[in-house]
Each structure stands twice: as C-alpha cells, then as structure tokens.
Amino acid sequence: MSDLALSFRRRALGHASFAVGGALTLLLLLSAALSLAWTPWPVYELDIPHKLQLPSAAHWFGTDSLGRDVLSELLAGARTSILVGVIAVGIGVVLGTALGLIAAARRGWLEELVMRFSDFAFAFPAILSAIMLSALLGPGIVNSIVAIGIFNVPVFARLTRAQAKAVWAREFVLAARAAGKGGFRITLEHVLPNILSVIVVQATIQFATAILAEAALSYLGLGTQPPQPSWGRMLNEAQLQLLQAPRLAIFPGLAIALSVLGLNLLGDGLRDLLDPRLARKR
Amino acid sequence: MGFFLAKRVATFAATLVAASVLIFLVLEILPGNPAQVILGPDAPASAVEALARKLGVDRPPVERYLDWIGGLLRGDLGTSYAYGTPVGEIVAERLAVSLPLAILAMALTAALALSAGIFAAAKHNTGGDIGVMALSQLGIAIPSFWLAILLILFFAVELRWVSAGGFPGWSAGFWPALKALILPAVALAAVQAAILARITRSAVLEVSREDFVRTARAKGLSRGETLRRHVLRNAMIPIVTIMGLQFANLVAGAIVVENVFYLPGLGRLMFQSIANRDIAVIRDVVMLLAGMVVLVNFAVDLLYAAIDPRLRAQDV
Amino acid sequence: MALLEVEDLEVRLRTARGMAAAVRGASFALERGESLGLVGESGSGKSMTALALLGLLPEGAELSGSIRFEGRELVGLAESELCKLRGDRIGIVFQEPMTALNPLHAVGRQVAEPLRLHRGLSNSAAREAAIALLDRVGLPDAARRSHAYPHQLSGGQRQRVVIAMALACGPDLLIADEPTTALDVTLQRQILDRLAELSEESGMALLLISHDLGVIAENTRRMLVMYGGSIVESGPTAAVLKRLAHPYSQGLLGARPRLGAGRGNRLATIPGSAPELAEIPAGCPFVERCRLAIDACRAAPPPPEAVGPGHVARCIRLDAAGARP
C-alpha cells in the first residue's frame, strides 16, 4: 500500500518533469523548424562594420565578432544539434537494439560476444573515442555523427539485451514457443513491443548526450565546420572575445544546457509515466 | 582471496592487451604517410621513402606492433615524429599536469556527490531533497567546457582571483601550480558530481529499506549512527562502481577542459599530436589513458572485495 | 505495576487512499517474566503493534493511545530516549533471518554492537561477551563462528545470531515477531524452546507474535487474537485454546494443517480474505467473512464479553458460536 503511495508521488513528479522537459524540447524543435523558414538575419551573412554589437531592437542578442546576428545563429544551431542527435542516436538504436535482440534470442557464444564487446566499449570513454575517430576520419559533421553513433551502439545493445531477456522469461513467450513460433517471430511480435517504451526513454536521454558530444567536438574544432552554424563552435569563437564580449559565451551555452536539460527531464518524466514500476536508476 | 585476485589480474592483463591491439589497429587506418606529413606535400618521393624507412613505418604491422609493445614494456615509448624527442619525456612532463588534475577532480567529485547524495537521501521527499535533485539535473545538463568558460569569466575576468588559463609549472611553487588547476578541476567535477550525487542518493535510499537497517535501529542506534555504521558501507558498492566508470569520463573530459584553460596536459598533447599526425605520441598517450582507466577499474574490483566479504573466499 | 501496559493503541498508516488505521484501539498488559502470544493473519496489525512498541513505525505513520513501559509513557517520547530503551530494555527478533543481518559485518561484531552502545564496553570485552551470548543461544563453535559473515551461516544459525543480538543487554522485554516462520519445523522447535528457557532463566517477559496457533500454544501463558487491527479475543492460552470463542479464532484453528489427518479431510479455510486496511468495516472487523454475522454486527464494534476467568472475546454472537458452556 505504501508502494502505491510512492508510485503516485513518482507519477506526479513524472508529470512535472514531463511538462517542463516537453516544453523545453518543443522550444528546441520549434527553433530548428523556424530557422528553416525564417531567421531575423541571414545566418551566413557577415557584417563586419556591425560586429560585436550589444543586444538591440535590430539584433536581439547582439552580433558576434564577424557581425553575424547571434539569435539567427542560435536558431540555425538548433538545426545542427537535432540533425546530429537524430542520426547518431538512430544509428545507436538500430544497430544496438538489433544486437541486443539477437543476443537475447540466440544466447550462447553470440550473446557472450555482444556483451564483451559492449563492456569493452562501455569502459572506454566515449568522448575520447569520438575525438580520436573525428581526428582520424577528419573533422566534419558527418564524421562526428558516425563517431557519436558508434558509441551509442553498446548503450542500446546492453539495455535491449537485459530487457529482452526479461521478456523471454515471461509466460506468454513460453506459450508462443509452445505454439511453435520461431525466435524471429517471437522477437518481432512479443519482445520488441514490450521493450519499446524503455528504448524510447533511453533514446531521449542519449539524444541529450549526443547534443553534448557534438558541442564538445565542435568546440574543439573537430565537429561541424564553418560556415555551418553550431553552438559548440560559437562557444569556441566566443572564447577569443571573452574580455570584450562575454555575453557571446553565455547564449550558446544556455542553448545547449536548456536543450540537454529538457531532453533529460522529458526522458525521466516519460520513464515515470510509462512504467511506474521501473526503478529510477539515476 | 587468491583465486579472486588471480582472476582479476588475468582480466586486467587481457583488457590491456585487447586495448593495445585495438589502438594499434585504429591508428593503422590513419590516412597519410607520417613521413609525407613530416616532410610536407612538396617533398620528393625518394626523401619520403628514406624517412619512412628511417621511422620504420614501411615494415609489416605485426612486427611494428611487437616492437611497440616490447618498447612499452621496457619503458621505451619511442620518439615523437613532430618534436624529435623521446615520447617518454614529453608524456612525463604532461602527466605532471594531468594526473594531479584528475586526482583533484575525482576528489572534488566524491566530496560533493557523497555529501549532496547522502543529504538528499536523509531528507528524502522534502524540499532539501528536491532541491538537490533539481540542482543535479542542472549540473548534468551543463557542458563542462561551458562551465569552464563561465568560471573563467567570473573568477578570472570579474574577480581576478586566478589567471584565465595556462600553467606556471610545479617549479613555480606548489600553491601557484595548484591554483591553476582548481578551476579546471571544478569544471570537470561538476557534471560527474551531479551524476554521482543521484547514484549516491538512490543507493542510500535502497539500502535504507533493507531489513538489517531496521535491525540496527532496533538495537538502539540513532538514525545518524545507523546511516554511518550500516547504510553507507553497503551503499558504497554501487557508488564505487560508478566512480570507476567516471574516472574514464574525467580523463576524456580533461581533453576538452585542458583546451579551455590552455593547460599543457596529456589531453592537449593528444589534441596537438592528432593535428600533427604524430602517431608515436597519439598511440602512447591513448594507451596510457586507456591503461589508467583499466587500472582504476581493476582497483575498483579489488575495492569490492575489501568492502564485501561475499566476494572473498568462502572458507570460514 | 505491569512491565508493559498498552491502552487504546492506534496506528494509522499512509496508503494510496489516505490514512488508514492498521491497529485500532488495542489494549493489553504484560507482567514481568510473563509470556504473551499474539496471533493473527498477515495484515492483522500484529507486526505494526510490535513496531509501535519500539517506536519504529514506517515513515509517515501516526501513533496515538498509550504505551507505558515500567510506568513510563513511550508515546511521544523523544527519539533519543527511545534509542536508549531499544536494544537495551526492549529487544526484538524479526522474522527474516536471511536479511536481518548486515551482510558486510562479521556476526560477532553485530552481536557486540548493542553492548558497546548501551554498556560502553570496549571492543575486546564486547567481543568476548558476544561469543558467550552466541554460545548461550546454541550456536555451535561460537568463538570461531563469531568471525563469520552472515552469508557463511545457515538460516537457523543466523536466527540464533539475531536472538543473541536481541538478548545482548539482558532486556526486560523481548518481542519475537514470527521468529521461526522462515525456518524448518525441527529448527523451529529448538529455537523456540531455547527462547522460552532463556526468558525463564532471566525473568524476561516475552511477546511472541505468530500466525501459528501451535507455536503460541506451546510457548506462551497468555494470548491475544488479532484481526483487522483489533484484539478480538484474549485470555490464558490454555483456557482460550480449550474453548475458542470468537468465530475468527475458531476459523484460525480450522485452517491449521494437521499431521495424520485423513486424506479425505480437506483443510478448512476461512472464506474470503483479510480486508484492505481502508476497507475494514466500522462494526465488527470480521463481519464480512463471518458465517454467524447478523445486522447488529455492523452497527458498532462489539464490546468485550467474558467467556471464562480472564477469557474475553469481542463478539455479540458468542452463544451462536457455541462459546458459552
């Protein structure tokens, strides 16, 4: 009975996280969508005479060292963050979930292999590896997507395997096996639908991690290349003007932090709402 | 205990070998002949070939791998293509910055996270708990390099308490050198502390619900005494696990943060070496970082056994 | 003055549907050296009664009524004062020996802990005393086993450790909450016999909580039957068992499996299941499951009715139940 009270409280908190996280995530999506149709100023246009301007009616967030409109750059930067996040997490979800499902269905040496690989990749710092890969393959947005994506694979492989194994042990799977259904059909019809919500929650949180990783890579100059807008690179450029225009370092960082915060809250809220029995591990 | 230790040591060694092979293979596919990179794109082919032979990059990969590992075991880390000096010397110099930074950041992480997490658990479901959790959610969302920039803005530009970056070297005295590491350590520790505080809180809460905690209270121990004597040590098991993994993240995060503060550490060295295609240095630095991570996780495994008698031999 | 006097004890717990009473107006007394049995199904409120006596109710629980221990009121007593009583004057043995011990500490140290806490014994003196205690509760080879960790001991051995821990400071009252339920039958008897001997030796009062009438019958002099948070029947154990008066108590006896019962004899059960806390009816708590229930049973909680000397039942249908001679 006190468990029920607990889950109720958790659901209420879940609603709050979900609402705040959802609003911030929506803001991120709308910014990106808006930037496709309209930005206050052209994103790529340099305007040296009007460089380093303070926020004004014409430039709400001011201009940077090359006279570009900061607000326009921020809006367009959301586009880059989402692009990298969606594709990198997509790579992780597709490959990782497939590996995890296979490991859970086939067991034996195959499962062992997938898990050893995941453990190894997991113990290795993802950013270090992403930096190395980006450096090896050359800087650029495509390579940083690949690098971030690769290190999402073990995250989803581990999660999927653990969840799928739990489903495989349930009665209705036993019944399906008794009815003569094969591993592939059981995986598609029973296992996958039952673990989907967990994967969606994790994908939301990995999305946040991918945004952070893209920003870090771009800050180091290994990610998105100019003139393509990126919050991480805006911070890199802002650091050169730290004394003259500290505000330039504030806005992109805020954009990153709010996006990451929003996605994490959304993920936590979703987890609590989708399955109140799921223990919070963080 | 003997068997446990032997198994751990074997895993430790196997992981190191696997890491070295992986690092070697990945660097094999690095585009660009080092000799060509050193001499520039306009160098005559004959000169490039001669240098390649001198550097030994024209020999078969297996031979070069064994050479590399043999050198590492003897303590010979090879010669930097870019600097022309022994890699060992360069690395040692950089390690004098990175290692204290990592230790300082880890200590900060542990101190912050444990106190915040235990506080939140003790004040479970009150304003204090929710406040700490909200703060940690914020801490996780802030990129470490942005926090680094904010710290510079506030403490170096506004208050002028510390310099905005650079490292005076340990020869300049202990305090000036340490002072240069404080802000980077804070920037590194904040995110990790936020994550660890959440882990600590849930671990303490989980253990608090165990029957033996009720037993301890029934003995007449107060809440605080029960927490100190019975809950914390049990909660340390998941906390230590995460701390081991976090050390890897600290090492990686240091690459970024060292760049923000212009600290001459391993991270910056690696970054520069990647720009220079200085494979000898990259290989050794990455191997060193990986080795440190594996070593810390090995230590965590041993720590488990020290904490939990169930993992030791069953012979009473 | 009785050692323990409980009057109108009421425990309210936080549930999904608001506060609900788990113990409703329980009153009983326990003399020095006496043994009292408390019997009931799980959810009857017997464990909550035990926790209330120690001031260890779950977070958010509300406690009212009166608990006097050696004449001193425990309800509303400062936490620091309760800490001094717990483990010193009042000891408790919980049901689950597998989880009641800290897995990371050697058992000798856990037994020694109350002695260091309440008696201020040095480490070595406490350790010696712990070994003597382990020996007293019947743990073979106590000196060596005191260095063992809980996972290295069997369930029976662990329960002996838990008992040694509860007895460490020589309490005036020992509460044993289903102390042997998790153990097999032979061990049950050994451990209960040892508990009874120890309480006789030291003049310690024993409150034995069990769902098993047999355990209560063999080990206590007086007994209480609890249902839905209320004490529905009480009296000297022998007299109560000779003539179970309350329809619930009668059902409880029928539900016991008996050795040697013919194959054809099915186990009698009480129809229905114990009510949720929030759904306990206003009148007699047992009314929904009682075969003798009449409308008057729902009107008000039944008053205590004498059945024999010291034997009381809260039921207005005692005649129909065949409780009166």
Each residue of C224-241: pLDDT tens digit?
Answer: 999 988 999 999 999 999
DSSP C256: S
Looking at residues A232-246, what average pLDDT do you find? 85
CB contact under 8 A, B222 and C147: no
Looking from the CA of B203 toward its CB, the CA atoms found within 13 Å total 24
- Average pLDDT of chain A is 83
Nearest residue, CB atoms, B149 vs list A124, A126, A253: A253
Nearest residue, CB atoms, B140 vs list A246, A264, A280: A264
Between strands C18-30 and C4-15, the pairing is antiparallel
When pLDDT is cut at 50, 70 and 90, the band that residue A97 belongs to is very high
Is the Cβ of B58 closer than 8 Å to some Cβ of chain C? Answer: no
When pLDDT is cut at 50, 70 and 90, the band that residue C200 belongs to is confident
When pLDDT is cut at 50, 70 and 90, the band that residue A142 belongs to is confident
Which pLDDT score is estimated for C261? 47
Which pLDDT score is estimated for A35? 84
Partners of residue A7 in chain B, C-beta under 8 Å: none
Which pLDDT score is estimated for A275? 65
Asked if residue B85 has pLDDT above 70, the reply is: yes
Which pLDDT score is estimated for C171? 93
Ranking A39-48, B113-122, C110-119 by mean pLDDT, the lowest is A39-48
CB contact under 8 A, C79 and B307: no
Chain C's closest residue to A4, CA to CA, is C16
When pLDDT is cut at 50, 70 and 90, the band that residue C113 belongs to is very high
Asked if residue B315 has pLDDT above 50, the reply is: no
Going from the C-alpha of C86 to that of each of A242, B224, C4, the distances in angstroms are 62, 15, 14
Which pLDDT score is estimated for A199? 92
Distance CA B35, CA B52 (A): 5
Asked if residue C274 has pLDDT above 50, the reply is: yes
CB contact under 8 A, A8 and C58: no
In this structure, the number of other CB atoms found within 10 A of the CB of residue C296 comes to 13
When pLDDT is cut at 50, 70 and 90, the band that residue C325 belongs to is low
Interface of B with C in 215-274 (CB under 8 A): 215-223, 229-230, 233-234
pLDDT above 90: percentage of residues in chain B: 35
CB contact under 8 A, A2 and C58: yes
Asked if residue C46 has pLDDT above 70, the reply is: yes
CA torsion through residues A149, A155, A156, A158, sign: positive
Partners of residue B301 in chain A, C-beta under 8 Å: none
Q: Would you say B234 and C103 are in contact if contact means Cβ atoms under 8 Å apart?
A: yes
When pLDDT is cut at 50, 70 and 90, the band that residue B313 belongs to is low
Helices and strands in chain C, H and E counts: 11, 12
Which pLDDT score is estimated for B246? 87
Give A189 to chain B, closest Cα distance, Å. Answer: 35
Partners of residue A136 in chain B, C-beta under 8 Å: 26-27, 29-31, 274
Please report all neighbours of A, defined by 3+ CB atom pairs within 8 A: B, C
Summarize pLDDT for C143-156 with one digit per residue, the tens. Answer: 999 999 999 999 88
Looking at residues A216-239, what average pLDDT do you find? 87
Summarize pLDDT for B231-245 with one digit per residue, the tens. Answer: 999 999 889 988 988
More confident residue, B19 or B38: B19
Is the Cβ of B159 closer than 8 Å to some Cβ of chain A? Answer: no
- Average pLDDT of chain B is 86
CB contact under 8 A, B293 and A208: no
Summarize pLDDT for B200-254 with one digit per residue, the tens. Answer: 999 999 999 999 999 999 999 999 999 999 999 999 988 998 898 888 888 888 8
Give C130 to chain B, closest Cα distance, Å. Answer: 14
Please report all neighbours of B, defined by 3+ CB atom pairs within 8 A: A, C
Asked if residue A152 has pLDDT above 80, the reply is: yes
Which pLDDT score is estimated for A24? 93
Please report all neighbours of C, defined by 3+ CB atom pairs within 8 A: A, B
More confident residue, C44 or C256: C44
When pLDDT is cut at 50, 70 and 90, the band that residue C4 belongs to is very high
Is the Cβ of A128 closer than 8 Å to some Cβ of chain B? Answer: yes
| Radius of gyration in angstroms for the set of CA atoms belonging to chain A, rounded to a whole number | 22
Write the DSSP assignment of chain A as a string of letters: -HHHHHHHHHHHHHHHHHHHHHHHHHHHHHHHHHHHH--SS-TT---GGGTTPPP-SSSTT-B-TT--BHHHHHHHHHHHHHHHHHHHHHHHHHHHHHHHHHHHHH-HHHHHHHHHHHHHHHHS-HHHHHHHHHHHH-SSHHHHHHHHHHTTHHHHHHHHHHHHHHHHTSHHHHHHHHTT--HHHHIIIIIHHHHHHHHHHHHHHHHHHHHHHHHHHHHTTSSSPTTS--HHHHHHHHHHTTTT-THHHHHHHHHHHHHHHHHHHHHHHHHHHH-TTSPP--
CB contact under 8 A, B252 and A212: no
* Token couple for C110: 């856990």
pLDDT above 90: percentage of residues in chain A: 26
Which pLDDT score is estimated for A12? 65
Is the Cβ of A132 closer than 8 Å to some Cβ of chain B? Answer: yes
Distance CA B146, CA B141 (A): 11
Nearest residue, CB atoms, A8 vs list C13, C16, C20: C16
Which pLDDT score is estimated for A8? 57
Q: Would you say A77 and A234 are in contact if contact means Cβ atoms under 8 Å apart?
A: yes
Is the Cβ of B210 closer than 8 Å to some Cβ of chain C? Answer: yes
Is the Cβ of B289 closer than 8 Å to some Cβ of chain A? Answer: yes
Which pLDDT score is estimated for A6? 54
CB contact under 8 A, B141 and A260: yes
CB contact under 8 A, A246 and B198: no
Partners of residue B140 in chain A, C-beta under 8 Å: 260-261, 264
Which pLDDT score is estimated for B120? 94
CB contact under 8 A, A125 and B27: no
CB contact under 8 A, B202 and A282: yes
Q: Which of C12, C14, C47 to mutate to test the interface with A (most CBs of A within 10 A)?
A: C14
| Residues on chain A bordering chain C, Cβ-to-Cβ distance under 8 angstroms | 1-2, 4-5, 8
pLDDT above 70: percentage of residues in chain C: 94
Summarize pLDDT for A167-208 with one digit per residue, the tens. Answer: 888 888 888 888 888 888 899 888 998 898 889 999 999 999
Q: Which of C15, C19, C47, C51 to mutate to test the interface with A (most CBs of A within 10 A)?
A: C15
Is the Cβ of C81 closer than 8 Å to some Cβ of chain B? Answer: no
Asked if residue C110 has pLDDT above 90, the reply is: yes
Cβ-based burial of C309 (10 A; exposed 0-12, middle 13-18, buried ≥19):
exposed
CA torsion through residues C28, C34, C40, C45, sign: positive
User: How many residue contacts between A and B have a Cβ separation below 8 Å?
Assistant: 117
Which pLDDT score is estimated for B15? 83
CB contact under 8 A, B141 and A238: no
Nearest residue, CB atoms, C87 vs list B219, B223, B316: B219
Give A3 to chain C, closest Cα distance, Å. Answer: 8
CB contact under 8 A, B220 and C117: yes
Which pLDDT score is estimated for A14? 66
- Average pLDDT of chain C is 87
Residue with tokens 């499962």: A111
Which pLDDT score is estimated for A123? 64
When pLDDT is cut at 50, 70 and 90, the band that residue A278 belongs to is very low
Which pLDDT score is estimated for B32? 63
Is the Cβ of C196 closer than 8 Å to some Cβ of chain B? Answer: no
